[in-house]
Structure 1
């Protein structure tokens, strides 16, 4: 019973003290407020010296928001990191373990003396962790092949985040290193169809990832197009990441014309022009003998690995030309970068075939009477038998042997006799 009464008295005493202390008004001391600096996650002990501790009460609170932390050794806030101890009957110690960023601020120790005594302490938390925050520059970008671009990923946070670059689909990042030669050789070489001095030597390296805020891409080619992602990590959640899409524009790698090499006047012909691997898709136009010629609307197809393939068809009827040849020109233009590729094609033109008269039979008068086979005549040919055989379309007469001519006339007589018998019958 005594234990229960003592516990009840202690509780009533603390509640009265709580309401009493809560209504106190603090006095502003003229002394300078000391500052305790502690690293994030460390432990700190805030001390309050009370010269006349007997019969007086001590309260800890936050001066910036008025929250009461503890009254004497009784902790009011529900925070297992905080405890209050009395040392040597004169010093009250507020202990905070595992200091967090929110623990930073002004603390106040108040003693209900007359007048009220107040001691202020400022707690500074050092090296407060901060999750990464990324700002990329530039955004999505379009560059020309063989150019150079710098991708930058600014990352804030504490501790300082580590920035790592990767490509979509685990594609490699191509880095070129330029080694300048100790002497000039004064020569040039071709790279992707363009001339460059070779007084320096370039080496290409493929990386699965690149660490650093700045990623520099030199001698960009179409294989470098795609998404580049920078990730900032400092072990403070959440991890931040941003993506930059790099599009590479380039002219066609190949343009070619295909079709017949020879054709006759009046014949219908068709030619195809293909512009391969261009980004964006190339626009194709035709010229015949230097004059623009309308073509069928081009067909564009996207390659899975390279750029666009454009196919254009041109059809026409072969006209008469004096030179015997016709030059066709196919022009593929990439308007995004203002470049064009040209391919020419030579068509050899032959004279038209002689038109055969199929519905008109022309016979030599002597051949008709002698039962010879009909011989078709050609337009513009000499069919007058009186002019001689050298200009006639008829073949020369055969000089059959006597036996063959006799058999021929015997057969003819038999057929005529047979026809008479059928007539009288």
Structure 2
């Protein structure tokens, strides 16, 4: 029985050998965390091709919904300017410089050599790109939400500043105040009924969820001024009214005045140009060739003259 089973296995192997080989093709990539801006090297290897001349790298495009080949001289070089494919020493390598999140993959290695009956495709390879970008501060319930290096508020006001950062995963946020042990482990800083003691430097720190070494910070200075008896309307101070209503109105008025002055000057230039009187044009009667006066004729002359 064992002899029959061995004979069967040998026969199956011979059939596969007659119809072509099925090599072991794989992509070897980084096994460490990849940060945005790092350099990444991928290698395509095969158990049957020593120089890898019949293999190529491919990347899947979600936008085009298909796989396309990556090469040094063809296909989307404007998009993949930081990519280089090389074949040196029998190795097929792809170098990605200053990698971005959208270049994480998937990638695969493909061969369509005539030595194999079917197209040989490796398993897909995708690496994770960790990133945490700049922090943005925004003030809630304000006509001007962006927060600059300092923020002026009146005593008794409420302040609500939201801290946000772009990352591959939702980061952790923490607020702190300079020269103080106070901290707030939320993304939004909330201060109610502020007074002079609330003034100072506030810093929002964002920590990556899986990579604590990736940290971003943003600082602004809170300045508290005495509450003035200035005119306010609908919760807006006099400064807000000047900034959001008076300034645009004055700018529009200046634009209209400039346009009116331009039109008046243009009309004056038109009036100064010499004009031909209608009376003078009536005196210029058409005559025929060889005649000093106009004559009546039933036939038309194609070349009238004007005196």
Larger of the two Rg values belongs to structure = 1
Which is richer in helix? 2
TM-score, normalisation: structure 2: 0.49
Which has the larger strand fraction?
1
